[in-house]
Structure 1
Amino acid sequence: MKKIGSFFCAICSAVALIGLFPPHALAQPEVSVEATVSETTIYTGERIQLSIRISGDFNNVSRPSLPNFQDGFRLLSNTPSTSRSYRYVNGQSSTSYTYSYQLIAQREGDHRIPPISVTIDGEEFTTDPIEVSIINRNESAKSQDEQQPDMFVQLEVSDNQPVTGQQIISDVVLYFQDGLEVNSYQPVPGWKAEGFWKEELNNRERPQANTTIINGVRYRKARLLQFALFPTKSGTLKVSPYKIIVSVRSTSRSRDDPFSSFFGGMGRNQQQIELESDPVTLDVQSLPSPEDDTYFGAVGSYNISREISTNKATEGESIEITTRVSGTGNIPLISKPEYELPEGLEVYEPQEASELNRGNRRISGTKTFTDVVIARSAGEYTVPEKEVAYFDPERDAYITQTLPALHFTVRPNPENIVQQDPRGSLPVSPVTGLASWTTLEEAPLVSYWWFWAGLFVPLCLLAIAYWQKSYFDRMTNDRAFARSQKASGTAADRLNQAVDLSEQGHIKQAYNMLQKAITGFIGDRLNLPEAGLSNEDYLQALKQNDIDAELVKNIRMLLDKCASISYAPEATHEYLKSHVGLAQSTLEKLKKVL
């Protein structure tokens, strides 16, 4: 009995311990094998370091099986230098082994280091091949007779022949020769990238310098900034030059970390140098003509879904139909996919919300479109399924997805007044019986309503007249009060002007007037200066007045749309009217809280 009890306790303890850990903590980390070299462009006779890194959770690992390097490289020693590290994060252990070999470049040309195999716990893993360029030192020295700049900046794009709306990545890369120390850099404001919608990507890591050889001259290169560009039209477009100011000094220091003093202190030989990149020409291709009307302006890789807030509602209740577009591509520029709604619904202007991720060398995220509808009569309703399409540059084709049909039921509202009998009869019965006689008594004067009306009506009229005079005097003498009282009317006039300008074909001026309507209303209500404020100043003022964060978010979206219309694709009158409607509903909400 004692042994059985001990075994049972051990089983229970093991089960309890397993329950303490979440499923992801019990999952084993994936084993990975990666080969890297210290340089990808070198001179003949120079050494490079080949490193094979094995990471993950494993027990046994063999020494890498090196390939035949042929005549491009010579292996100095079959015995590698090794290093090992161990990590334990979130209940998950990971081990890392690194084997390093020294190679000497022997023959000029483009060479490939073949895949390297490693056996881990009895399973064979293989690395990817590595391309390395070897340059003849003597011929390179001859080419250096031509003067090469010590430092320059360059725009490097991921694709020189994109399609309209395709996301291309533009790196701002700094090149500098050995002996120069970079302390800091500062972009020159005003880079517009005409013809493109641009988004700056996150650049939180310190720049890392790598070696390269250009026209026989060895340079160190470091990516300083990164942007996502979206061409808004086809044809030959030029990415305008990018300017930065770099603080450098000349010094003799190690090549191992020329950026070790990045953002460091000023030296005696400190210089401020303004660098400007050359313009980059792109041949932007037109999108193929879609076969039907399913394309809604999205270019990239997306997942599109649609859902309804409830399947059962009561007459007069609002129902939200939400369409989400998630993925990677021109998310800031896409419009709402169009689909049919059943008859009998009161439809309000759709609302837009975006969540952008600017990391991982790309723009990704989700854009949400919300249609608010109200059913005025009971019954069964169906939003039919709809095919929508986006263009995928990787596949060079339109990809079609189907939005599912949505079904919902609207129940009668029990609070509605019951309709009268169609025959016109009243639901009452005559009262029969003996008549009772009463003697009327004379009532006092104060019991009559007209006595009190005659007493209080003149007082009320006098109070109203006094209030009107006070209001008129305050409107005349108190400018802040007058602006606040006229804010709604002024905003409505500007919205009407925006619609009129749009009907005349002046879309950009219309969006400018739409922006004035929003910022002017906020400024008038909060008594802000009438000029000289940015959109961010107005948003900050709303936050200081504890305005709902979701409402501030919608206002920010509207102001960003107005501010960026100069770089967006050509908008239509209907597109502007949707934003005017959204602005009207947003201003109505602001009236209640300001």
Structure 2
Amino acid sequence: MKRIGNFSCLITSVLSLLVIFSPQALAQTDVSVQATVSETTIYTGERIQLSIQISGSFNEVSRPSLPSFPDGFRLLSNTPSTSRSYRYINGQSSTSYSYNYQLIAQQKGEYQIPAVSVTIDGEQYATEPIQVSVVDRNESARSAGNQQPDIFLQLEVSDSQPVVGQQIISDVVLYFQDGLEVNSYQPVPGWKAEGFWKEELNNAERPEATSTIINGVRYRRARLLQFALFPTKEGSLEISPYKIIVSVRSAGRSRNDPFSSFFGNLSGNQRQVELQTDPLTLDVQSLPASENNSYFGAVGSFQISREISTKQASEGASIEITTRIRGTGNVPLISKPQYELPEGLEVYEPKETSNLNRNNERINGTKLFTDVVVARSPGDYTIPEQKVSYYDPDKGSYVSQALPALSFKVTPSPNQVASPAGNDAMPVRPVTGLASWTTPASVSLLSYWWFWAGLLVPLCLLVLAYRQKTYYNRMSNDRAFARSRKASETASERLDRAIALSEEGEIKQAYNLLQKAITGFIGDRLNLPEAGLSNEEYIKALDNENIDAELVKNIRMLLDKCASISYAPETTHEYLKSHVGLAESTLEKLKKVL
């Protein structure tokens, strides 16, 4: 019995050793799974790299199963960059895998990157959680000491208490400390300045950096972009954060021009940072009451004149009255002054043209309104003197200007057929001699087709002329009707312009025009305000019209795409053309129900 017992102990020991030193057990004890991040303390908007390192002897490994990341971080892509290597040392082989993911910090706070699980040869492995601190970049910029960030973005405006319609110059300014070199920057599309009409000003020259000190720390200051904003309503209006992506690297402090390698080759300790400005609230004041009805919506500094195309015209000829408004201010938003016209003139839809200059750090230019009138009877006509006024923010008051009276003479048309001078009958002598008298058959005029044509054709022309005149009068006086009728044409022009801009490489501007084509069509058809509405307000307006849910869904998708189109290089002309085609088909469907 004793021998049997010893033998049983021996068998048990051998089996235990075989299990412990089996290839699978050896492989599992050699496997290492570890998660690391490139930085554990970062600013908002910065990116960190989460790396999953797997090494050891194994046969199969699955892609890491990512957890739900905390709200303070956003995963840029589910597809990692990978690398793999093999080693063979002293008869033992080992494999190393690396999976790298990019995360961007969005909110300040203390966060824990959860454990990441990986399946290796059928066994589940998990990494250790990682603690990461996110510091708000703009709050740090306002604090003193060494906690200030090395780079941050600000939105600076020329006036924080403007009046409705006043031109506000808004600068997107980058601040960065010495020792950093800015290689490139890329605005993030989709910036919405709700409640404002927005115009981007031209910046032909590259940014120039100047030196400044903030809370005892020396920074370089560079204005990257500049916009002209025009508030369209009064009250407290918030300008949403503006975002850019900048590529920076550490550089020697002796560099005189930190933008010297702008868009050049990258090297050194390079990193990409997503920066955004703080939300900025403006207290928009209402315009003071005007003493009379001469104000026509202009805010700024202007010169106003009007002229007539001719002082003498024949009856039925067209005469043009041109009003020219030239100066600096809300030129794109100016409406036509209203004039008192004498009786006997037919007024047609006015023409409107504008020429804007965006080069001199502000919006200025000329806007022309051309009224076309036709006199239906000869005589002397006078368009009386007209007083117009605009609001000058620099003076804080209205500026009035008198437009002189315009006189012209209308002469009878030379093509008019003269009527007989009198009713006296010409003397006729009777003809005598042989004559053969016959009695012609009596035929009623009602049996001739030309009789009915002579009655109906003028009547049809009269009805057609009346409808045409009514249409022109309504297009001239009913702005909502005019917008609705011209909505399709305006949308088509914007889509064509978007494709042209895309071919020139201006993808961001092309998508902005695509968004304006859609929202402009909806606003014109539903008589919504021409500026200052958000995408959600346009969608809500369609829902109130009981538009088909699938059609509204497509419109929402297009607007969201325009607001968040990626700045990545794969955004191409062909990619935009596909969205333009979808927009055209969607607008065709929308045209049938609005």
- Residue segments in structure 2 that go unaligned for 5+ positions in a row: 1-142, 437-466, 502-516, 534-594
Is 1:337 the counterpart of 2:337 in the alignment? yes
- SS of 1:568 mapped into structure 2: coil
Partner letter of residue 312 of structure 1?
Answer: Q
Structure 1 contact 296–388 (Cα < 8 Å) conserved = yes
Structure-to-structure mapping, 1:469-508, within 5 angstroms: none
Q: Partner of 2:147: helix, strand, or coil?
A: coil
Q: Distance in 2 between matches of 1:562 and 1:255?
A: 54
2:349 maps to amino acid: E
Alignment-derived partner of residue 430 in structure 1: 428
The percentage of aligned residue pairs carrying the same residue is 61
Shift of 1:312: 0.5
Q: Which moved more, 1:227-236 or 1:258-267?
A: 258-267
Equivalent position of 1:321 in the other structure: 321
Q: How many Å apart are 1:433 and its aligned residue?
A: 5.7
- 2:489 is matched with which residue: 496, 499, 518? 518
Q: Secondary structure at the match of 1:517?
A: helix
* 1:401 CA displacement: 0.2
Displacement of 1:251 in angstroms is: 1.7
The one of 489, 495, 505 aligned to 1:534:
495
Q: Distance in 1 between matches of 2:520 and 2:347?
A: 24
Residues 282-333 of structure 1: CA deviation (Å, up to 9, x unaligned): 1111111001101111100000101000000000100000001110000111
Is contact 1:333–1:568 with CA below 8 Å preserved after alignment?
A: no
Shift of 1:566: 4.9
Amino acid in structure 1 at the alignment position of 2:399: I
Cα deviation, 1:60-96, whole Å, max 9, x if unaligned, reads xxxxxxxxxxxxxxxxxxxxxxxxxxxxxxxxxxxxx
Corresponding position of 1:118: none
The answer on whether the counterparts of 1:232 and 1:567 sit within 8 Å (CA) in structure 2 is: no
- Partner amino acid, structure 2, of 1:517: S
CA contact (8 A) 1:515 1:559 kept: no
Distance 2:482 2:246 in 1: 38
Contact 1:315 1:377 in 2 (8 A): yes
Q: Which residue of 2 aligns with 1:378?
A: 378
| Matches of 2:316 and 2:302, distance apart in 1 | 35
- Deviation per CA, 1:341-360: give whole Å up to 9, x if none: 01000100111100101111
Partner of 2:201: 201
Deviation of 1:512 (Å): 8.1
Superposition deviation, residue 260 in structure 1:
1.0
CA, structure 1 residues 203+420, in 2 after alignment: closer, same or farther (shift >3 Å)?
same
Change beyond 3 A, Cα 1:515–1:271: farther
Match of 1:534, SS?
A: helix
Could you tell me how far apart the structure 2 residues matched to 1:304 and 1:146 are?
A: 56
Partner Cα separation in structure 1 for residue 329 and residue 237 of structure 2? 19
Could you say which residue in structure 2 is the equivalent of 1:172? 172
User: Displacement of 1:247 after TM fit?
Assistant: 1.3
Give the drift of 1:266.
2.1
Deviation at 1:429, TM superposition (A): 4.5
Partner residue of 1:273?
273
Question: CA–CA distance in 2 between the matches of 1:267 and 1:538?
Answer: 36
Q: Deviations over 1:245-296 (max 9, x none)?
A: 1111112143421111112122243222111000111111111100110111
| Equivalent in the alignment of 1:157 | 157
2:390 paired with 1:390: yes
CA contact (8 A) 1:194 1:567 kept: no
Query: Cα deviations across residues 86-130 of structure 1 (Å, max 9, x unaligned)?
Result: xxxxxxxxxxxxxxxxxxxxxxxxxxxxxxxxxxxxxxxxxxxxx
The letter of the residue matching 1:300 is G
Q: How has the CA–CA distance of structure 1 residues 431 and 245 changed in structure 2, closer, same or farther, with 3 Å as cutoff?
A: farther
Q: Against the structure 1 CA distance between its residues 403 and 225, is the aligned structure 2 distance closer, same or farther, given a 3 Å change threshold?
A: same
- Pair 208,427 (structure 1): closer, same or farther in 2 beyond 3 Å: farther
Q: Secondary structure at the match of 2:186?
A: strand
Task: Confirm or deny: 8 A CA contact 2:250 2:268 kept in the other structure.
Answer: no
Task: State the shift of 1:234 in Å.
Answer: 1.2
How far, CA to CA, are the matches of 1:203 and 1:436 in structure 2? 102
Q: 1:228 to 1:565 in 2, by over 3 A?
A: farther
After superposition, the Cα gap between the structure-2 partners of 1:269 and 1:406, relative to the gap in structure 1 and judged at 3 Å, is same
Kept in 2, the 8 Å contact 1:152–1:275? The answer is: yes
Residue-by-residue CA offset, 1:430-482 (whole Å, 9 max, x unaligned): 255666889xxxxxxxxxxxxxxxxxxxxxxxxxxxxxxxxxxxxxxxxxxxx
**1:357 counterpart residue number:** 357
**For 1:536, what is the secondary structure of its paired residue?**
helix
Contact 1:356/1:363 (<8 A) preserved: yes
Over aligned residue pairs, what C-alpha RMSD do you find?
Answer: 3.7
Q: For residues 194 and 426 of structure 2, what CA distance do their matches in structure 1 show?
A: 79
Q: Structure 2 CA distance, aligned partners of 1:511 and 1:167?
A: 27
Residue 90 of structure 1 is matched in structure 2 by none
Any conservation in 1 of the 2:196–2:532 contact (CA below 8 Å)?
no
Question: For residues 511 and 203 of structure 1, do their structure 2 counterparts lie closer, same or farther at Cα, with a shift above 3 Å needed?
Answer: farther
**Deviation, structure 1 residue 417:** 1.8
Measured after TM superposition, the shift of residue 159 of structure 1 is: 0.7
> Where do 5+ consecutive residues of structure 1 fail to align?
1-142, 439-491, 524-532, 541-555, 571-594
- Structure 2 letter corresponding to 1:200: E
Task: Give deviations 1:482-528, integer Å, cap 9, x for gaps.
Answer: xxxxxxxxxx9xx99xx99x99x9x6xx78854553268x79xxxxx
1:166 & 1:184 partners in 2: Cα distance? 33
* 2:541 alignment counterpart: none
CA distance in 1 between counterparts of 2:315 and 2:532 reads 40
CA separation of 1:293 and 1:435: change in aligned 2, threshold 3 A: farther
Distance in 1 (alpha carbons) for counterparts of 2:350 and 2:484: 21
Aligned length: 341
Deviation track 1:536-558 (CA, whole Å, cap 9, x = no partner) reads 25899xxxxxxxxxxxxxxx9x9
Contact 1:519–1:535 (8 Å) recurs in 2: no
* Residues in 1 aligned to 2:222 and 2:240: alpha-carbon distance in whole angstroms: 20
**Does the Cα contact within 8 Å between 2:487 and 2:524 map onto a contact in 1?**
no
Shifted more, 374-383 versus 232-241: the winner is: 232-241
Query: Helix, strand or coil: the match of 2:154?
Result: strand
Computing the radius of gyration from Cα coordinates, the structure with the larger value is 2
Amino acid in structure 1 at the alignment position of 2:313? A
Structure 2 counterpart of 1:220: 220
Residue identity matched to 1:568: A
Q: 1:518 is aligned with what amino acid?
A: E
* Alignment partner of 1:568 out of 520, 531, 542: 531
Which position in structure 2 is the counterpart of 1:297?
Answer: 297
Distance 2:332 2:388 in 1: 18
- Once the two structures are superposed, residues 9-36 of structure 1 have per-residue CA deviations (whole angstroms, 9 ceiling, x without a partner) of xxxxxxxxxxxxxxxxxxxxxxxxxxxx
Give the 3 Å change call, closer, same or farther, for CA 310–285 of structure 1 in structure 2: same
Amino acid at match of 1:414: P
The letter of the residue matching 2:289 is S
CA distance in 1, matches of 2:529, 2:268: 45
Shift of 1:145: 3.1
